[in-house]
Structure 1
Amino acid sequence: MTIRAGDIVIPAVGAANRDPEVFPHPDTPDVDRVGPRHLSFGAGAHACIGMALARLELLVTLRELSRALPDLTLGCAVTT
């Protein structure tokens, strides 16, 4: 692919996180996945200003969910 001067380029970060050459089985959730970091929050000077808030919201949500529904279980088998 050739990108010429003046061409508009729109990076698709979501697609980059799903590149099977970089992330094996990219559409399968895997909390133990190792490898390159995802690009969702950016990095360095371009890091998402809401990154810490998003992570805190997830932590609080999961903690409160487990408190409110202590008998909650997964609806599928867990494989390791």
Structure 2
Amino acid sequence: MPVAWDDIGGLTEAHELSLAGALVGSDVRDMVLDSWKRCRSAGLIPDRVLIPYTPDFTLDERFLKAADPMLSQLVSASPT
């Protein structure tokens, strides 16, 4: 039986149990439980956004080389 939209408290409680590694009852859909498991296995922390700092960031990286023509065009078109 899926959790009703008006029972967000129950869903929140189930999510907290899942984060703690406890078994969650059958009230939460399998699709949601699978998503929670993927997030936990990836090391994601729901209340934090962790963006790693990369001090060795260079313009030689493949993505930046591909984006360089468009970035140059944007810079030359921007008002001074």
TM-score bucket (shorter structure):
under 0.3
Bigger share in helix:
2
Length-normalised TM-score, structure 2: 0.25
Q: Which structure has the larger Rg?
A: 2
Higher RCO (Cα < 8 Å, 6 or more apart): 2
